[in-house]
Chains A and B, each alone.
Chain A
Amino acid sequence: MKQFWYGLVLFLFLALPPVRHLLESIMAFHMHMQMPLLFVSGLLMAPFFMKRFRQFFGKWNGSGLPGIILFLIIVMYWMVPKAMDESLEIMAVEAFKFISLPFLAGVPLRDSWSKIGKATESILLLVLAILFSIMAYLYIFFESTLCNNYLLVDQKTVGWGFAFFSLCLILYLVLTLFTDQSQYYDEAST
């Protein structure tokens, strides 16, 4: 329950007009700070919904795969430059961003994470790494602005941000494949 409140406070904080304005004024902050934080707020709130709507999640996300697919659809939608432009210009799209990232990406992913196996986890990480690499390439090397609201230099910055995101995901994937991560999460030892 504590996590739910942390998530809710984060969600409300991100929704405050000055915070929204600040984070949306710089493309890198918009895409690599506001959006991931909205997603994180959903991750934090997820246990509350999972407990509250256990039957719903059991019925519609029994294997965890539907949740993963929904998460990927939402993430990919927000990778589209036009979607980001529209969120700055159309209030309904902005509202959709604040609903979709926490509740249609964060919550389903957390619910699915415990249900999917190691192999699916690795595939998901690989898919995200590839997706972010493509975005990095697109944003760094495209010679005209993809987002009307931002400058070309902002676009390149986001591209490099994606490159580092992708690098970190690949490194984490390698780490999970070649080391036994469970050894670090047993009970404490002396």
Chain B
Amino acid sequence: MANTIQTHMKNNTLPLVHFFLAFIMLLIGGTLGLLQGLNRGGVFELPASFNYYEVLTLHGILLILAFTTLFTNGYLYAAIRHTLGELSKTVKILAWSSLASFLIGSLLVVWMVLAGEATVMYTFYPPMQASPWFYIGLVFVVLCIWLAGLGVFISAFQWKRRNKGQHLPILAFFAVGIYTLVIFGSLGVTVEVLMLIPWAFGWTETINVMLSRTLFWSFGHTLVNVWYLVAISVWYTILPKIIGGRIFSDTLARLVVILIVILNVPGGFHHQIVDPAFSEGLKFMHVFMSLSIAFPSLMTAFAMFAVLERTGRKRGGRGLLGWLWVLPWGDVRFLTIMIAMISFIIGGAGGIAQTNNQLNQVVHNSLWVVGHFHITVGVTVVMTFFGLVYWLIPHLSGRVMTPFIHHLGMFQTATWTVGMALMALSMHAVGLFGAPRRTSYTTYGDSATALGWEPYLSFLATGGTLLFFGVILIVYIVFHLMFFAPKGDTPFMDSRVEDNAHPTPKWTENWGLWVIVAILIISMGYVVPLVDLIENAPPGSPPHRTW
């Protein structure tokens, strides 16, 4: 088949447009991050017309909602097209509608924030009240997720009908799991937003704050694990191919997907462990529910070490750790993902610590938490995404990566890693000393405690600056690979299972049952607190505008 750029671009317009927009979002969001970091480090003051909190809100929305959603949709649609075959017309319509919905939603949201009508942070906690159009924008963003998910489900269903009795290819299995989870997770926030819209229009006078926060975190926490599930789909199915190995266990990978989907949503309570209105018993119960999510993560760690060791030994590694040194550390496609996985050991351990009631008291609402999610999302997830672009973008655009871009990628990886280490670790440290999150630079009247935070905040600003350079580099790399790299064929890097692998049990395919089990577990987690929060609610809160 003739390889022409036009043909490639035409066939892969959908994921390429998603990636293009995702990295535009990263560029804008990253620039805002730089402003934030420099302000928080006390380097300069932001003007009142575009203050720290506005920047913070936009930075959060553009990076952890816009960038991740667009990237995920682009990657997964590329993956299902590769594994399940050409997308049907219905699926294409759904995917483009999803993108349109996302753009409408994003425009509304960003417009309202820039207009100073929605400086409510990305968590938009009531009783802070944004313009109703901000919330309506969020409805479109959620609609985008549902439409994209529906497209994937239809693709999987059509494939299963064509291939009766066959297992859904592993990448498509991950895609089904990811969209099932994100749809379950978005139900709570949808209800919340539908309560906030009439309140913002003034049709209802008050809002149940605790109920809103609880519904938000049923989504907020799940979203984090959706990114994580996207990242581990790369680790399980793509990383082995990059290092010349095979998938360790297809069954284990599918079991991990199923467990994450059914166990995840009730984990949201550990974000509210300091909130009032929950009895201690409930908080302790939810520690169990949150920690249950660590179980599939530990299974993933086991599988990853197994893949790395087997492949390392195949490559000639000897001795206890010899297999580690022979891995392709000089290959940017491996290095990025490896750093992402290593960072997850730190991030995961921090997450488990934060889930515990007493430890959470120490770090709650401090910069520690910000450091934690910059390690988990900013390194584990984002570095995995970066690791994909070096071969996925050229695969889609009909080009090949040049040695120059490879070297630049290695430099970008180093910049990002050092920047994030400086920023996230100083955030962790200064958080332990009590520096609050979501707070513009202040010395609290030159109090001795706040002045003691200064060196750490300087590190934070330095790390943020390095990260901004990292953003510039990765955006340049992506656009170069999309539009300017030499023409050529770059293969899709999905792995196969070992030749002697155990057959995968058929029960893993029973998605109908997993959905029912997920509903049962979500109801176990939420019925008791939600009824309590509704029935025993204090008078609702009128709107507050803190900006």
A residues sitting closer than 8 Å to B (CB atoms) are: 22, 26, 28, 32, 152-153, 156-157, 160-161, 164-165, 167-168, 171-172, 175, 179, 181, 183-190
Report the bound CA distance from A153 to B532 in whole Å. 7
B512 touches A (CB below 8 Å): yes
Pick from B506, B520, B531, B532: contact of A184, CB below 8 A: B506
- Nearest CB in chain B: distance from A133 CB, A: 15
- Tell which of B237-245, B330-338, B425-433, B497-505 binds the partner: B497-505
Q: A153-B531, A161-B527 are in contact. Are A168 and B506 (CB under 8 A)?
A: no
B191 touches A (CB below 8 Å): no
- Nearest CB in chain B: distance from A70 CB, A: 25
Q: Which residues of B contact A22 (CB under 8 A)?
A: 281
Q: Please tell me if the beta carbons of A157 and B507 are within 8 angstroms of each other in the complex.
A: no
Pick from A152, A157, A164, A188: contact of B505, CB below 8 A: A188
Q: Please tell me if the beta carbons of B520 and A186 are within 8 angstroms of each other in the complex.
A: no
Report the bound CA distance from A156 to B527 in whole Å. 10
Q: Please tell me if the beta carbons of B165 and A175 are within 8 angstroms of each other in the complex.
A: no
Q: A157-B532, A161-B523 are in contact. Are A175 and B504 (CB under 8 A)?
A: no
B100 touches A (CB below 8 Å): no
Pick from A153, A165, A188: contact of B535, CB below 8 A: A153
Residues 296 to 353 of chain B near chain A (Cβ within 8 Å): none
Q: Which residues of B contact A168 (CB under 8 A)?
A: 516, 519-520, 523
Q: Which residues of B contact A171 (CB under 8 A)?
A: 512, 515-516, 519
Q: A189-B167, A190-B504 are in contact. Are A184 and B528 (CB under 8 A)?
A: no
Q: Which residues of B contact A185 (CB under 8 A)?
A: 506-507
Closest to A190 in B: B503
Q: Please tell me if the beta carbons of A164 and B504 are within 8 angstroms of each other in the complex.
A: no
- Nearest CB in chain A: distance from B252 CB, A: 13
Residues 432 to 458 of chain B near chain A (Cβ within 8 Å): none
Report the bound CA distance from A165 to B520 in whole Å. 7
Residue-by-residue, is B525-547 near A (CB-CB < 8 Å gives 1, otherwise 0)? 00110111001100000000000
Q: Please tell me if the beta carbons of A160 and B167 are within 8 angstroms of each other in the complex.
A: no
Q: Which residues of B contact A184 (CB under 8 A)?
A: 506-507, 509-510, 513
Report the bound CA distance from A174 to B519 in whole Å. 15
A-B contact pairs, 15 of them (CB 8 A): A153-B531, A156-B531, A156-B535, A160-B530, A161-B527, A164-B519, A167-B519, A168-B516, A168-B520, A172-B516, A175-B512, A181-B510, A185-B506, A189-B167, A190-B504
Q: Which residues of B contact A165 (CB under 8 A)?
A: 520, 523
- Nearest CB in chain B: distance from A79 CB, A: 17
Q: Please tell me if the beta carbons of A28 and B528 are within 8 angstroms of each other in the complex.
A: yes
Report the bound CA distance from A179 to B501 in whole Å. 29
Report the bound CA distance from A181 to B523 in whole Å. 24
Report the bound CA distance from A28 to B285 in whole Å. 13
Q: Please tell me if the beta carbons of A164 and B513 are within 8 angstroms of each other in the complex.
A: no
Q: A185-B507, A189-B165 are in contact. Are A164 and B527 (CB under 8 A)?
A: yes
Q: Which residues of A contact B515 (CB under 8 A)?
A: 171
- Sample of 19 further A-B pairs with CB below 8 A, known A28-B527, A156-B531, A188-B506: A26-B528, A28-B528, A153-B536, A157-B531, A160-B527, A165-B523, A167-B519, A168-B523, A171-B512, A171-B516, A172-B516, A175-B512, A175-B516, A179-B512, A183-B165, A184-B513, A186-B506, A188-B503, A188-B504
Q: Please tell me if the beta carbons of A26 and B527 are within 8 angstroms of each other in the complex.
A: no
Pick from B167, B507, B523: contact of A164, CB below 8 A: B523
Report the bound CA distance from A160 to B530 in whole Å. 10
Q: Which residues of A contact B505 (CB under 8 A)?
A: 188
Closest to A32 in B: B524
Pick from A157, A167, A175, A189: contact of B528, CB below 8 A: A157
Q: Which residues of A contact B535 (CB under 8 A)?
A: 152-153, 156
Q: Which residues of B contact A175 (CB under 8 A)?
A: 512-513, 516
Identify which of B502, B505, B531 gathers the most chain A CB atoms within 10 Å of its CB: B531
Closest to A161 in B: B527
Q: A168-B516, A175-B513 are in contact. Are A188 and B502 (CB under 8 A)?
A: yes
Q: Which residues of A contact B507 (CB under 8 A)?
A: 184-185
Q: Which residues of A contact B524 (CB under 8 A)?
A: 32
Q: Which residues of A contact B513 (CB under 8 A)?
A: 172, 175, 184
Closest to B282 in A: A26
Residue-by-residue, is B15-41 near A (CB-CB < 8 Å gives 1, otherwise 0)? 000000000000000000000000000
Q: Which residues of A contact B512 (CB under 8 A)?
A: 171, 175, 179
Closest to A169 in B: B516
Q: Please tell me if the beta carbons of B531 and A160 are within 8 angstroms of each other in the complex.
A: yes
Report the bound CA distance from A58 to B531 in whole Å. 46
Closest to A179 in B: B512
Report the bound CA distance from A165 to B510 in whole Å. 20
Q: Which residues of A contact B167 (CB under 8 A)?
A: 189-190
- Nearest CB in chain B: distance from A172 CB, A: 5
| Chain A to chain B: the 8 pairs with minimum beta-carbon distance, closest first | A164-B523, A188-B503, A157-B531, A184-B510, A153-B535, A175-B512, A188-B505, A160-B527
Q: Which residues of B contact A160 (CB under 8 A)?
A: 523, 527, 530-531
- Nearest CB in chain B: distance from A30 CB, A: 12
Q: Please tell me if the beta carbons of A189 and B503 are within 8 angstroms of each other in the complex.
A: yes
Report the bound CA distance from A161 to B505 in whole Å. 32
Report the bound CA distance from A32 to B505 in whole Å. 31
Q: Please tell me if the beta carbons of A26 and B281 are within 8 angstroms of each other in the complex.
A: yes
- Nearest CB in chain B: distance from A143 CB, A: 13
Report the bound CA distance from A32 to B524 in whole Å. 9
- Nearest CB in chain A: distance from B529 CB, A: 9
- Nearest CB in chain A: distance from B48 CB, A: 46
